[in-house]
Amino acid sequence: MPLLEGDASASFRTLAEASLQALYAAFPPRATLDGIHDHDGRLGDWSAVGIAGRTASLRRHLGRLESTVLETLTEEDRIDALLLGARLRAELLDLEAVRSWRRDPGHYCRLISEGIYGVAALRYDSPQQRLRHAA
């Protein structure tokens, strides 16, 4: 039985939220900059195991997204689905083919500076707590 437009959109929004939560777990400085403080003080797992886990997560989310029939979504969700698919594919391309985490010497410097910037510039907690996160 095909999903009704409202059901398909609700299912897509659940997928989009799961994808966003996975993004924040993988890139904690991004979460901090977006006002999500569940991962403050972390930089993400850039080990081989961490990258393999992130790649698997991206593939799972992309597979679920690709099984979504775009025509069953609302117009807004259809646009969001196309954008989400492009973001997932771009990150997979970077992790698997470009491999900036391995080839770009500035990758880790940017990661650290973005992490420190988020906890230093945003006044979401006491200066002492933000200093602990930066450390």
Mean pLDDT of 102-114: 92
- Band (6; pLDDT cuts 50, 70, 90): low
The pTM for the full model equals: 0.85
**From the CA atom positions of the chain, what is the Rg in Å?**
17
Does residue 25 contact residue 57 with C-beta atoms inside 8 Å?
no
Residue range 33-55, pLDDT digits in tens: 999 999 988 999 999 999 999 99
Residue range 39-98, pLDDT digits in tens: 988 999 999 999 999 999 999 999 999 999 999 999 999 999 999 999 999 999 999 999
Closest C-alpha among 68, 61, 63 to residue 10:
68
